[in-house]
Structure 1
Amino acid sequence: MAEMQVDLVAVERQVWSGTAEFVFARTSVGEIGILPRHEPLIAQLTEAGMVRIDPTDGESVRAAVFGGFLSMDGEKLTILAEEAELGDEIDVSAAQQARDSANEDDAEGRAAKARAEARLAAAGQGSE
């Protein structure tokens, strides 16, 4: 089975590190799936999105990721985010409340709603 090293790093901490067989992410130009030996690339992450890592052992890891970029060199994928939270770290009720109370009439409200939806997706409570 092919595998790649994956490091998910936020400004404040290393969020996740291990070997994986697949990674899904949302970039500024669309969704991307990355397999081991993927062609080298650098992509900007969306301001609020969900990253799913399918490790070689264990269940999928989901994280809400806010800003940053990813870099693939063929053998190693590095995801550098401004902020990131693992799905099991997310307070689902707070994220639901933030989503429901966001005012979509302005850019700040739309951004707050997108962040809340990314958190919910990472926690397994929203769409992927």
Structure 2
Amino acid sequence: MDSLHVVLAVPERVVWSGGARFVAVRTPAGDLGVLPGHAPLVALTVPGGALTVRPVEGPELRWETGEGVLHLDRDGLRVLADTITERKAGGPDRGADPSADRSAGSGAGRSTGDG
């Protein structure tokens, strides 16, 4: 499996949905990295924690999560949180994937919903 179907959602809308090669999210236990083929799991997200997606196409995308849950199974990865806000390039890094290239763009990509 080359990619993972990812859905990032808040109560009002889907923030982002698409194929990804890698996802990293901050959990109470620390940073969690997910590649295609990862074992199923459920984890909590940390308010203010970093959420990073490396889409199949396009630049790396970055957000901060509120309280929520990550659910991974054979159908894909879903992050459902009370808030998911875009992180601006050059902003403080509070978590996921410290080895990531910090110069990568943020926020661009396939977005669904009305906002």
TM over 0.5: yes
Alignment-derived partner of residue 56 in structure 1:
56
The answer to which structure has the higher helix fraction is 1
Alignment-derived partner of residue 73 in structure 1:
73
Secondary structure of the equivalent of 1:77? strand
Alignment-derived partner of residue 100 in structure 2:
none
Alignment-derived partner of residue 30 in structure 1:
30
What TM-score does the superposition give when structure 2 sets the normalisation length? 0.76
What TM-score does the superposition give when structure 1 sets the normalisation length? 0.69
Alignment-derived partner of residue 126 in structure 1:
92
Contact 1:27 1:46 in 2 (8 A): yes
Alignment-derived partner of residue 19 in structure 1:
19
Query: Number of aligned pairs?
Result: 93
Give how far 1:37 is off. Answer: 1.0
- Identify unmatched segments of 5+ residues in structure 1: 87-121
In angstroms, what is the RMSD of aligned CA positions?
Answer: 1.3
Give how far 1:28 is off. Answer: 1.2
- 1:34-91 CA-partner distances (Å, limit 9, x unpaired): 00010000001112211000000000111111110100003400000111112xxxxx
Which structure's CA Rg is the greater one? 1
CA distance in 1, matches of 2:47, 2:61: 19
The answer to which structure has the higher strand fraction is 2
- Identify unmatched segments of 5+ residues in structure 2: 96-115
CA distance in 1, matches of 2:24, 2:59: 14
Secondary structure of the equivalent of 2:66? strand
Contact 1:36 1:74 in 2 (8 A): no
CA distance in 2, matches of 1:26, 1:74: 21
